[in-house]
Amino acid sequence: MKLPLIKHLTQFIEENDEDFVIETIETLESLTEVPSLKDEELDVIGELISNMYGAIEVNKMVKDGTPKKEALNSFMKRVLGSIDK
């Protein structure tokens, strides 16, 4: 996951609507079922999907009253903490 990408997507959600990102995730998830995709292509799609889910999670924390910067940092700490385990 990349913090700048999650930050950008979070801003997109604020300016537009979360539904755009959710529909994009659904589209990308559907694309992963194409049998001719290479592993590298699946990795890129997976990375995009995970960043979008991250942005949705950060957006939910902001809606619940967490300042944006704190929400981003908290989310990334959780991600890094789960990787270290």
Domain ranges of the chain: 3-84
Asked if residue 13 has pLDDT above 90, the reply is yes
Q: Is the pLDDT of residue 84 over 60?
A: no
Output the DSSP codes for the chain.
--HHHHHHHHHHHHHS-HHHHHHHHHHHHHHTT-TT--HHHHHHHHHHHHHHHHHHHHHHHHHTT--HHHHHHHHHHHHHHHHH-
Per residue in 38-67, pLDDT tens?
999 999 999 999 999 999 999 999 999 999
pTM (predicted TM-score) = 0.88
